[in-house]
């Protein structure tokens, strides 16, 4: 029986993807609908396809069986802190690859009864409790701890604020019978974010939740590293590896990954040189996007589950106008199509009209997601942030010369059509700090998620896969 090196499985909200590797090369790739009632059925269906590709009836054996998943949608998180801008910034960084999804951000500006109401209505899985630099304000985090206890939510509270106050906070939560975990302050100084420990804690909670889904307990018995990682986290880790490289192999440098999914559109950007900046050069945490790695998730922009969210974000008439199709008849068809695919997320475009509608949805989702991810040229003065008109503000991506497209639509279309979707999305950058004329590569085989999983076991192997796809074959 032939034994492979890695068998990597990704369980998405719409499709389950499987990749098989031997001698640092992709041997087989399959995709099958995710079976929500019992996800292992979808995996077995994919393995039947894989055996046909390999021309064998034997069981597929690999030294390492690894898995990532986004099927559960991520832990529902509420962040509570002192200042809205600071808390929002920190919460986004913590959520970046932890498997959590921010549903609400509360601050000192919100009344206490409103906070209690929000917590009861959302009933989050995770509450990120921030507030105060180390040795700074304690009052806010203590008051928020009392509010959480009052809400009686069934959530795990990650205490991630002022270290000097954490013991008092823990006592308040314990008295209120609220589960909690202490981690180092996510913002120990006004120049620094420290989010690794908070991410790891939330990731552990993510694994606990996701294994409750039907069939995922079966997967835990199959995988060889006893770890299911969030799919966006896998993509992000692989993007960082591709950008930075290893001690053996140089990375590709600045890169953007656009992951166009059925439920969300994720944008990852990695700019390695920003890692060299000292604290003062980065500036205040609240006013900059100068960290090496940055990720944004647009939860209302997706090709299927969030299709209506796209035409809610951008007037469908303006979307159709780009193709000279803005008629009442086409508008009705387009809106009906968006509603239909949202209700039937496994639907594949079956005719030219539906394929065109998918292209329009994709271009719009990518354009909006990239512009929300990127910074822009200031058009007016902002004394708080220190900006004057004409000054770049936010994430500056103008020096990025490579964009990688990932996602189901890109997998189904040919290379030229897929690249054109991203080109069209970049055509009208306006004041956004987007790349001007970047090289575009389509990750048709969706190797990024696989490499991110493989990194957990063998970084050099993962880098070789990425290098063969994105560096050596594209110079």
**For residue 441, what are the β-bridge partners?**
404
pLDDT tens, residue by residue, 266-280: 899 999 998 877 665
- Return mean pLDDT, the chain: 88
**For residue 106, what are the β-bridge partners?**
80
Residues 450 and 463: their CA atoms lie apart, in Å, by 11
| 157: its two tokens | 């509270």
pLDDT at 305: 87
**Terminal Cα distance for the chain, rounded:** 38
pLDDT at 297: 81
Is it the case that residue 72 has pLDDT exceeding 70?
Answer: no
CA nearest 267: which of 313, 301, 310?
301
Higher pLDDT, 112 or 194: 112
Could you list the beta-strand ranges (E) of 24-135: 25-33, 61-69, 75-80, 100-106, 126-129
Is it the case that residue 55 has pLDDT exceeding 80?
Answer: yes
Q: What is the pTM of this model?
A: 0.80
Could you give all domains of the chain from N- to C-terminal order, each with its CATH number? 1-71+213-226 (3.30.420.40), 75-204 (3.40.50.360), 230-475 (no CATH)
pLDDT tens, residue by residue, 360-409: 999 999 999 999 999 888 877 776 666 777 788 788 999 999 999 998 78
Q: Which of 7-16, 35-44, 357-366 has the lowest mean pLDDT?
A: 35-44
Is it the case that residue 3 has pLDDT exceeding 80?
Answer: yes
With beta carbons less than 8 A apart as the criterion, state whether 50 and 20 touch. Answer: yes
CA nearest 156: which of 197, 195, 209?
209
Q: Can you say whether the dihedral through the CA atoms of 290, 292, 297, 301 is positive or negative?
A: positive
Higher pLDDT, 403 or 208: 403
pLDDT tens, residue by residue, 282-302: 555 554 567 788 888 887 899
pLDDT tens, residue by residue, 393-451: 788 999 999 999 998 788 888 899 999 999 999 998 889 999 988 999 999 999 999 99
Res. 307 pLDDT band, cuts 50 70 90: very high
Residues 41 and 347: their CA atoms lie apart, in Å, by 19
Is it the case that residue 467 has pLDDT exceeding 80?
Answer: yes
């Amino acid at each position: 029986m032939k034994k492979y090196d890695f068998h990597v499985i990704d369980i998405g909200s719409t499709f389950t993807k499987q990749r098989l590797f031997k001698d640092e090369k992709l041997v087989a790739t399959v995709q099958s609908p995710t079976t929500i009632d019992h996800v292992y059925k979808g995996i077995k269906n994919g393995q039947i396809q894989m055996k046909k590709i390999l021309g064998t009836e034997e069981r597929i054996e690999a030294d390492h069986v690894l898995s990532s998943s986004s099927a559960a949608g991520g832990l529902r998180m509420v962040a509570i802190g002192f200042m809205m801008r600071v808390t929002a910034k920190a919460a986004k960084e913590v959520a970046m690859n932890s498997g959590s999804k921010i549903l609400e951000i509360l601050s000192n500006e919100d009344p206490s009864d409103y906070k209690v109401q929000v917590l009861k209505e959302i009933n989050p899985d995770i509450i990120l409790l921030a507030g105060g630099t180390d040795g700074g304000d304690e009052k806010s985090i203590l008051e928020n701890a009392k509010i959480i206890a009052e809400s009686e939510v069934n959530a795990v509270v990650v205490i991630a604020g002022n270290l000097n106050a954490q013991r008092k906070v823990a006592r308040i939560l314990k008295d209120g019978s609220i589960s909690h975990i202490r981690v180092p302050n996510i913002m120990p100084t006004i120049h620094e974010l420290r989010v690794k420990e908070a991410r790891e804690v939330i990731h552990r909670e993510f694994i606990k939740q996701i294994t409750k889904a039907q069939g995922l307990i079966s997967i835990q018995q199959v995988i060889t590293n006893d770890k299911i990682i969030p799919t966006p986290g896998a993509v992000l880790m692989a993007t960082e590896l591709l950008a930075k490289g290893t001690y053996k192999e140089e990375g590709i440098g600045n890169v953007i990954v656009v992951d166009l999914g059925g439920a969300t559109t994720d944008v990852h950007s990695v700019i390695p040189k920003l890692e060299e900046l000292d604290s003062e050069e980065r500036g205040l945490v609240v006013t900059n996007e100068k960290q090496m790695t940055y990720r944004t998730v647009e939860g209302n922009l997706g090709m299927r589950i969030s299709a209506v969210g796209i035409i809610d974000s951008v007037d469908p008439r303006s979307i159709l106008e780009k193709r000279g199709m803005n008629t009442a008849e086409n508008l009705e068809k387009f809106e009906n199509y968006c509603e239909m695919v949202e209700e039937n997320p496994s639907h594949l475009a079956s005719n030219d009209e539906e394929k065109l509608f998918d292209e329009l949805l994709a271009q719009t989702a990518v354009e909006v997601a990239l512009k929300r991810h990127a910074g822009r040229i200031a058009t007016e003065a902002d004394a708080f942030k220190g900006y004057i008109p004409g000054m770049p503000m936010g994430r500056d991506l103008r020096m990025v010369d490579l964009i990688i497209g990932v996602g189901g639509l890109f997998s189904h279309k040919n290379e030229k059509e897929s690249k054109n979707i991203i080109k069209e999305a970049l055509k009208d950058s306006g004041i956004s700090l987007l790349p001007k004329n970047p090289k575009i590569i389509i990750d048709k085989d969706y190797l990024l998620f696989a490499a991110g999983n493989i990194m957990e076991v063998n970084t050099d192997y993962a880098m070789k896969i990425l290098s063969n796809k994105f560096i050596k074959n594209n110079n």
